[in-house]
Chains A and B, each alone.
Chain A
């Protein structure tokens, strides 16, 4: 592999890793703060992608679809928390696994009823439809660079939210001691609802961004879910920084695995995880 090719593959890897971060960050927040293992998180990614597909058809442009889709996803998340997840906080992990597994089935079939089982494409917005020539044979689609930029902006926003705002403070405090926060007169239920809806919106946003690149297809959430689990395990539960680092590590392992050892590409990601487990069983950035 010569240097330009290596750099382009590096770009592919980072871009994949950043997209993964959008899904995994929501997952790790929900894990870390509310102690809920949410198998349906991949389904939110899928919901986002199908939202992008439906709304692009309606408005004619993916950008409008995303602007409309994010509040929709947030509201959907808040509703779901109120209806179902709020009942899960005091239950054991087993019941959480089961309920959210049931939700996956419901989301998948709901998707099948609403959209059928065909694979759909979503057009890249005309604004970003161009490609930039990188080598004599290869051009790089602008939209892929836009995805990365959007992910970086969002990651920065998330860090600011957690480190610098009052909500972030409550989130951080709440993950350590729920009862104490409540005793201080802070409405923890509301905080939980916001965090959960935020996680859903992040995953859905990831799905919307990825829709033109990955297509929109049945079962698309499952693959993302399990890789996100790996990210959370490597990064450490509840750590957004850990999720970012781990996402990039997984992006690298996956992309270079595909190119260098195609037979074992699927395994590469899990081997990285096994190595981390041996080294630090609770993730690289484990907390307290």
Chain B
């Protein structure tokens, strides 16, 4: 057991899989000698050498195109897109190529790759470098989408993503890189499509993802301490596949649903979750589902404005309390 940062967990997770399987390779901008702009891949170049850890030119299309070619011909590449916002410049690979190749070739061409990327706000990087775009990835049939919130989940879900036979988008939250958590020694392998109840409770269910998980947990503690409201917090961890069983079972117990989403409100992942719950658990609901999200705006760079835009513990707790108490 060791205390590890989320940042170090990324490197450990990649190293675990590269040690296990020589077909696992890693490529991206400044990920090698520089150890990544967020220092999340320090030591991999030294450990696995320039053949398996490749620095690339500043071209997202080149990175993903090379990754796809490698995947089609037998390797299991992990590609880094530095900021998830840049998915927009290589979206053809993400939306049209990776997720469709297996289907369109009747299984002859597989695409077992992982795209890991720095997602989310909190670093005052502005409208083009701070977005939460997990909903962009979630909407594409053929992609799997994970977004861990703890160092332990980073390692376990990285292993699951690398071992998955299909393309997986791996969202690392930039504001979580410095956070710490206990991680056991030895190999860690998790399962895609499994949510975690990170705080059991009886009065309401809060669904959260990535940075919103610690904020929802803080809100839960406030609600308990200040208002005696006992909420259950679920870390979804994986949007595709989606663990609807855990969500529906929780709503059947608590009868209230809240989502805490960093993505902008329109078509955020929570809208899909609310839709599923409304469809399948309508008569378990004892009040309207409530989505707590970033508004539908370009994110500001100014710290005070960025802080206002994102859901925080105070806003979550206030919204939940008002909704439960009327």
**A interacts with B:** no
**Interface of B toward A, CB cutoff 8 Å:** none
Give the B-binding residues of A (Cβ under 8 A).
none
